Structure 1
Amino acid sequence: MKSLTHALSCNSLSISTPQNAITRCLCSSPFVASIVSSTLALAPHAHADENALSTPHNKKTLEHIVVQAQKTSQNLQDVPVAVTALSGQDLVETVSRDVFDLQNYVPAFGAFQNQSVTNSGFSIRGIGTSSQNFGFESSVGLYVDGVYRARQNALINDLVDIESIEVLRGPQGTLFGKNTAAGAMTLTTVAPSHDERDGFAEAIIGNDNLVRLSAGSSFSLIDDVLAMRVSGFSSHSDGFITDERSGQTLNNRNRSAIKAQLLYTPTADISVRLIADYGELDERCCGALTFQNNIQANDIAGKFGTDALLLQPPFNATIYGRDNFYDYKTSLSQTPLSKMEDKGLSVQVDVALNKAWDLVSISAYRAFDSLDTVDTDFSDADLLTATNDAKQQSFSQEIRLHYTSENVRGLMGVYYYSQNLDLTFDTTTQDDFSAFFNAAAPDLLPLANAINELSAVTSGFIAPAAAPAPSGTAFAHSAYQEQDSIALFSQLDWLLNSDFTLTTGLRYTREEKSIIGAYDEQGPGIDGLTQDPAQWPNVGRAVVGLQNIAAALAEGQAPTAQSLNAIAPFQRAGWGYFFLGSAAVMPRPDLNEELDDSQLTGTVKLAYHPNDNTLTYASFATGYKAGGTNTDRILPSLSPLFDAEKSRSAEIGIKHDFEEYGVRVNAAAHYTQISDFQATTFTGTGFNLQNAGDIIVKGIELEATWLMTESTELHAVASRTLANFDEFKRGTCWVAYTWHTGIDDPGRVEPNDPFCSRDGDRVGFEPQNSLSLMLNHYFEVGSYPASASIDYQYTGDVFLDDANDPYKYADDFSLFNVRVSFTIPQWGSEIIAWSRNVFDKEYVARSGFDVPVQTGKIMAYPGAPRSFGVTFRKSF
């Protein structure tokens, strides 16, 4: 493990190295893509090791980086995989506190956060998954110390005490746990050791009252046999968005975690690593701001929306517009709440059976609980709130046999994963909702008034109209899902000769899922809504019924049963909810479904190593993301099941070191087809998970390092990624743009069809171009090593969702980060002064949405403004 630790520590951004510590290396990721042009994005580099702080180097040498991209230790420059590797020292030096900061240093990688902390996710090469629906699995697999994490937001340890991070781009259909379609991120934490200098204590203090304290240390319990490591952190800060109603800030930090490990090495051939961890989070996240209001349509005179209504009594809501977006202010009747508790236990056993065979076993249990509450009308009118309470427990077991001989090396294994998911999701109408419905649906009031008049005339013989949409009505649904997955896999490297290596891999995966769902509606006068469409309120039938009743009464006759039945639905509380056009409040039968699926995936790679400094390769790989069950409330006519998402990818790459110039260039080009892409689509009444069709992704990626002088280095990462829907017939239609302009979505085939074709459109949330540059300069202040660094990050324009609505377009932007570091070797200490987004650039954080029941209004998530602070780190 020490050799890997040392090798990886050379992998990223060196900021606090001495003046001549230019022995840098590139965390490389091949030049992934096909057919278009490229830009540069920033790639991190490595630090030699923590003791290197006091050991100057005089060579301009590209360092050796060891990665585990193929589940075995290999030199990064010899791996025919598009992978970026970052060391723990890189994270310290760049003050990268969470995965969102990693976007600066990894090409074609995105991390985004929406309604809540639970609704966060990753994307690689334009493909990702972000949904509060727990029926989704991730397109990007997350693994921490070899253990799969089902929800990407489960990573709440703030990147503390990390040994290394590897981001693998492209389908991972052979070696990695749950078999993902877009890529994988693996995190390895620092293992226990017997080293007397293996501890640290760190404090980060910054604006918005940021205070993060972290520490970790190893202890030798039995010399060379049993070691222990304990690490943890606590992080608190205010948010950068102000809720003017409560005075609280949103997007704050309030999280902590602790990890305890034991490493038992009774012999040189056996090691057992036991890890127990616990983390919790309680934050007000996430703040969405008004990107487009609907007080009045922009291009249609006299057309007013719900914001015009909410401005008036009794609501008197605070309404914002696009001009207020970067004031970072909102007003909510309830601030968003995100709570999470994540805990687990894992055991990894490594046994060297003989010179040729090694055994690895990883057993893990994890539990993840989350609670999210969101004000889903996104205003300070008391209209709607939603609560998502979920509990997940999982068990996984992986066993691998590794084989090494003169001409063949590889592994074979089995992987088992079982998960139980238990959740409840409630949408509840608040105090102002009844008045809001009456004001927003004036066409229904005359009908209700007519029924009331008849009731008065008949002295109550005919019942009056009931409350159409009483406040305090809860639309609840629960889901219990069981999942079992088992996979057999093998990958072999055939050393054809000294220059060529052929890699073949195959994986068989079997997935079984079952879901039981229950749906209910409870409120004042409501004990469930009828599921029989024949008994739903119908204005046309009711008008005829009223006319017949009036005629019968005028003639002194009793109304017919048919006439009374026509108005009966309007005499039951909650009849107005049927006119909201929202699946979230529509009654539906309970759910009991099963899914059984199997897939065969794999890879073929041919690597050519003409000399020690050059690797070229070509690969073909397939991957797959399991099908699933929709845990949301959807229309009964829609299927709750969706099929597996499958990917096929071809890639060519080159890795080359120009040692005489201190230059390393790793590049790749790729072409990927995603079939049966799993998408969340607006159906006209709600959101449904479905297989959207096919996506074509093609692009190029570059990571480069240039050791310009003995005291200056430049790192660059670039990507151009074109991700487009090749076929998507039942996609989401434009909403806001059509409401404001009257121009219909050109993808709509039929006039009243709630779906529109998105064939040829861009995949939402993803920029086509990204470029990052990082310049590090090393010098001395007196006798103390110091460094100065500047990052530049360019992110191209994006559509804020998959509809490609012209009103949901965000322009490109550029950010700058700066750092100055001072090292005091005799104290084993480092001080880093830093600032992110130093020029306070205003930008949208790649995501936006139409507000429920408020057509024409768009909310979006702002990017973080300038932040700054100081890091104090002590090694011991």
Structure 2
Amino acid sequence: MKTSQFKRNKISLAVIASVYLTSPSIIAQQAQSEQQTVDESFLERITVTAQKRVQNQQEVPIAMTAFSGEEMAEAVIKDLFDLQKSVPGLGAFQAQNATQSSFSIRGVGTSSQNYGLESSVGLYVDGVYRARQNSMINNLIDVEGIEVLRGPQGTLFGKNTPSGAVLVRTVKPSHDGDDGFVELTAGNFGLLNVAGAMSLSAIDDILAFRVTGFTSQRDGIVDDVNFGEDILNDRDRWGARLQMLFTPSDSFELRIIADQGEIDEICCAAPTQVSNFQAREILGKFGSDAFLSQPPFNATVFRDDQFYDRQVAVSFLPKSQMTDKGLSAEINWDLNDQYTLTAISAYRSFEAYDNIDSDFTDADLFGTINDAEQDSFSQELRLTYSGESLDYILGFYYFTQDIDLNYSLYTDDLFNTFFMANFQGALDPLLNGIDQLSAATGGLIAPTAQAAPGGVGFDHVATQEHESYALFTQFDFSLTDKLTLTAGVRYTDESKDLSTVFSENFSDGSSFVPFFNSIGDPSDPATIVPGTLIYGAGVAGAILQGIGAGQIDITSPQGQAALQAFVPFQTPGWGFQALGPTTSTREDIIETLDDDQFTGTVKLSYQFDKYSMAYVSYGTGYKSGGTNTDRIAPGVDPIFEAEASESIEIGLKKDFANQDLRINAAAHYTTVDDFQANTFTGNGFNLQNAGDYEISGFELEATWYPTESIEVNFAYALVNSEYKSFERGNCWNAFTWHTGIVDPGQESTDPANPNPFCNRTGDRPGGEPEDFAILSIKKEFNLADGIYSYIQADYSHTGDMVLDASNDPYAEQDAYNLLNARIFVKFEELDLDVILWGRNILDEEYINRTNFNVPIQDGKLNAYVSDPATYGITLKKRF
């Protein structure tokens, strides 16, 4: 066996970084240190930039996981959804469509369903902040390394980082001419990925270029009964990146990057998890599935036990399109041996469009369109000083963005019939009576109109002008040879001008009159008939009976006044106002938010020896408030406040060189004030400040080489999170509908009149498992001279979780386990890698972290599917 081959390939958890954040002289020093190991151990030196300068990971007082680009390529990790299965405490998932993704760290995350929200996880590519989480879901190609930092990063990465940060570095241009590659991946479900990159030296050691590109295609993993097999949740993506590196001297570097990525996919499928055809515990109670299965709908309905058949039925295929592009310029200038000036300027543009069948059936009921654009500019300036006992960074950061959202919930042909079916004939006597009276009067009294006609759009246009700047500093001061004090502070100023204009329009562009007020406020001038629809129907019904009994003379002034009770039912769209918050009128939102915040960190780290370091830290994070861009429930404030976090962490990083064992561990306690919670109720999203949110936990990462050719990695994260106070959260829906059991958190004291809010204090957040563990075993061997190989298996455990913030007993996911495996073969003479890989090879069935109450269909839950067993082959040729 060739030991050199083993050492060259032992890069699990290692990031060999030619770091863009540093000067050329420091990069040269780093290149030498990267070759060093811990004495004669197989443990590699891991170079990271978590504090915006090159450091050994074992000497950085931050809980973090780092991967090299080479390691990610060998593991066929193509995006952050793949990455989460290897990082303790990281959550990443798609939901409603391919253009909306959500990320969390240590149980603190942000839904991307609402464009008024900013991310709790700071996402950075080549030092540039990505304001839209969705821009991060495209393929990770030609990546040098990724670092996942856990805990608030409110000093150096102070733009929206209450829970952590993900740092992605791409490969720089070079003059060597031997860092190009072509990669081909093929697999089941028609998977075909093609990627490549190459550098070009235009002026030796002065000017170099690099071009990177990829395309990714895959069939869907979900069938539709109307449109065919393997049609939904497909892949159709491409991206390109062009770079220039200009180094006229050893002390100056300019790097310019232009990139663009596009997605055009059919996503995302949400099969029925809990049907409401008939209540599980209430005999004779039937829901929307029962009447949708009958004429005129003739919809396809599914049983609960069909969820993992991966089959849906929709009226039209969902469309998800996204374009993300940008241009950045970075300057690193060594002013002298101690000072380096860094400047990063960036412009980014993001566009997303999705159109989904939001009734999730193949009956023509209603759909939803999101059409969003975002443009941003950022400027960062940093001065870095490096001395014998003191290192520090001084910085300035500026960020501005404009967001424009056009949203429409629109009704289709059968919506009126669907609306009326929910009353099970209760309104028929009133409506038939008015029509009979109209016929008897020769049309002098108008007939009834459709309550909820098709072709109506419930629209809003939301715009946001956002400007932010920050001043920050952080220093490391060696109190002794072993004890280091790290401290930093950041001042952030945020300003937002927010506007949301609502409208409700018929297909001809006219607006309907909101006769019925869903909250029953008689003082509302829009309420011609006071109160709810049921109240209005009762008044109109009593007048109709009076006319039939001869007690009301419709020709008299009093009779003419009484006939006004019929006017709402004679006006098209009379049912919409009472249907719920998504179809009711509301006031426009015009707001200006100004906020400022100090965040920072204090850390003490003690280097016992070159193998051991312990630290204790305190840090804070912050992200600004905004407006809810959805049609929320009455009583929910459309303005939400800023979210702020505090965290205490104790960590240990220890190398047992003689045993070839490395252990990194951290325990943390985090509180989040005014946590921004966003939950779907079945009739709109409620985005509001939940109150106090508490998280405690523990993380362990270990690497061990029991022999020269065997590597074992183990990682574990415990995340114990709950709402310490959340008084006006969402209530159970499906469980209450099926059982009649009222949510114990119901805040109404009148059981006959429950309100829409429940106390969720003490409950768990949705989509966050309590524990996660992964065990990886790798065995290396040589097949022949010049042919190096290894076999690796990864086994992960994800603990049970609740799937939505209401903690509905039906919205639960049991713990599940996944097995991934791969065989890697490197032909050294050809510089060719061949990888045979499989993911979820045991075909474990589980829900992809979230489910939801189906819109306007009480008692029914749908959920998003996870990937089944996938497998394939990857060929990578370097040149």
Partner of 1:586: 584
Question: Aligned-pair distance for 1:337?
Answer: 1.1
Do structure 1's residue 421 and structure 2's residue 403 form an aligned pair? yes
Do structure 1's residue 236 and structure 2's residue 229 form an aligned pair? no
Q: Which has the larger displacement, 502-511 or 519-528? A: 519-528
Matches of 1:679 and 1:183, distance apart in 2: 18
Partner of 1:571: 570
Equivalences for residues 11-160 of structure 1 within 5 A: 18-19=5-6, 23-24=10-11, 26=13, 60-160=41-141
Question: Aligned-pair distance for 1:118?
Answer: 2.1
Partner of 1:702: 700
Matches of 1:748 and 1:687, distance apart in 2: 19
Query: How has the CA–CA distance of structure 1 residues 611 and 626 changed in structure 2, closer, same or farther, with 3 Å as cutoff?
Result: same
Matches of 1:351 and 1:525, distance apart in 2: 61
Matches of 2:291 and 2:574, distance apart in 1: 22
Deviations 1:227-270 (A, max 9, x none): 10000100000011011111151110000000000001111111
Partner of 2:870: 867
Give the one of 831, 837, 840 matched to 1:834: 837
Matches of 1:502 and 1:731, distance apart in 2: 42
Matches of 1:603 and 1:344, distance apart in 2: 31
Aligned to 1:731, the other structure's residue is in SS state: coil
Alignment coverage as a number of residue pairs: 838
Partner of 2:827: 824
Give the one of 513, 533, 537 matched to 1:530: 513
Q: Which has the larger displacement, 525-534 or 61-70? A: 525-534
Deviations 1:284-310 (A, max 9, x none): 111111110000000000000000001
Question: Aligned-pair distance for 1:534?
Answer: 1.8
Matches of 2:452 and 2:245, distance apart in 1: 61
Contact 1:410 1:490 in 2 (8 A): yes
Q: Which has the larger displacement, 415-424 or 563-572? A: 563-572
Question: Aligned-pair distance for 1:811?
Answer: 0.6
Matches of 1:339 and 1:445, distance apart in 2: 44
Matches of 1:555 and 1:653, distance apart in 2: 83
Contact 1:18 1:778 in 2 (8 A): no
Equivalences for residues 184-195 of structure 1 within 5 A: 184-195=165-176
Q: Which has the larger displacement, 437-446 or 234-243? A: 437-446
Matches of 1:510 and 1:309, distance apart in 2: 54
Contact 2:118 2:624 in 1 (8 A): yes
Partner of 2:240: 258
Matches of 1:712 and 1:555, distance apart in 2: 93
Matches of 2:509 and 2:540, distance apart in 1: 21
Give the one of 281, 289, 295 matched to 2:263: 281
Partner of 2:485: 502
Equivalences for residues 190-589 of structure 1 within 5 A: 190-247=171-228, 249-441=231-423, 442-523=425-506, 527-530=510-513, 532-535=525-528, 538-547=536-545, 551=550, 554=553, 557-580=556-579, 582-589=580-587
Q: What residue identity is the alignment partner of 2:561?
A: Q
Q: What is the TM-score normalised by the length of structure 1? A: 0.93
Query: How has the CA–CA distance of structure 1 residues 541 and 616 changed in structure 2, closer, same or farther, with 3 Å as cutoff?
Result: same
Give the one of 774, 777, 785 matched to 1:775: 777
Q: What residue identity is the alignment partner of 2:789?
A: A
Matches of 1:555 and 1:523, distance apart in 2: 31
Matches of 1:523 and 1:753, distance apart in 2: 30
Question: Aligned-pair distance for 1:686?
Answer: 3.0
Question: Aligned-pair distance for 1:404?
Answer: 1.5
Matches of 2:494 and 2:539, distance apart in 1: 48
Q: What residue identity is the alignment partner of 1:476?
A: D
Aligned to 1:77, the other structure's residue is in SS state: helix
Contact 1:22 1:711 in 2 (8 A): no
Equivalences for residues 636-647 of structure 1 within 5 A: 638-647=636-645
Query: How has the CA–CA distance of structure 1 residues 355 and 573 changed in structure 2, closer, same or farther, with 3 Å as cutoff?
Result: same
Aligned to 1:202, the other structure's residue is in SS state: strand
Aligned to 1:827, the other structure's residue is in SS state: coil
Q: What is the TM-score normalised by the length of structure 2? A: 0.93
Contact 1:225 1:264 in 2 (8 A): yes
Contact 1:118 1:370 in 2 (8 A): yes
Contact 1:88 1:162 in 2 (8 A): yes
Q: Which has the higher contact order (CA 8 A, sep 6+)?
A: 1
Aligned to 1:447, the other structure's residue is in SS state: helix
Matches of 1:181 and 1:662, distance apart in 2: 35
Give the one of 602, 617, 620 matched to 1:619: 617
Matches of 2:355 and 2:14, distance apart in 1: 39
Deviations 1:371-420 (A, max 9, x none): 01111111111111000000000000111111112221010111111010
Matches of 1:522 and 1:25, distance apart in 2: 57
Query: How has the CA–CA distance of structure 1 residues 686 and 155 changed in structure 2, closer, same or farther, with 3 Å as cutoff?
Result: closer
Question: Aligned-pair distance for 1:438?
Answer: 2.0
Aligned to 2:724, the other structure's residue is in SS state: strand
Aligned to 2:658, the other structure's residue is in SS state: helix
Partner of 1:793: 796
Question: Aligned-pair distance for 1:22?
Answer: 6.9
Matches of 1:525 and 1:462, distance apart in 2: 25
Contact 1:24 1:707 in 2 (8 A): no
Question: Aligned-pair distance for 1:831?
Answer: 0.2
Q: Which has the larger displacement, 540-549 or 108-117? A: 540-549
Aligned to 1:389, the other structure's residue is in SS state: strand
Matches of 1:450 and 1:133, distance apart in 2: 44
Aligned to 1:756, the other structure's residue is in SS state: coil
Matches of 1:502 and 1:361, distance apart in 2: 27
Q: What residue identity is the alignment partner of 1:392?
A: Q
Deviations 1:643-669 (A, max 9, x none): 000100000000000000000000000
Question: Aligned-pair distance for 1:633?
Answer: 2.3
Matches of 1:677 and 1:844, distance apart in 2: 25
Matches of 1:237 and 1:24, distance apart in 2: 30
Question: Aligned-pair distance for 1:80?
Answer: 0.1
Query: How has the CA–CA distance of structure 1 residues 597 and 562 changed in structure 2, closer, same or farther, with 3 Å as cutoff?
Result: farther
| Structure 1: gaps of 5 or more residues | 1-15, 29-47
Q: What residue identity is the alignment partner of 1:420?
A: D
Deviations 1:144-192 (A, max 9, x none): 1111111111024411000110100001111115131111101010011
Give the one of 646, 653, 677 matched to 1:679: 677
Q: What residue identity is the alignment partner of 1:237?
A: R
Question: Aligned-pair distance for 1:131?
Answer: 3.3
Q: What residue identity is the alignment partner of 1:199?
A: G
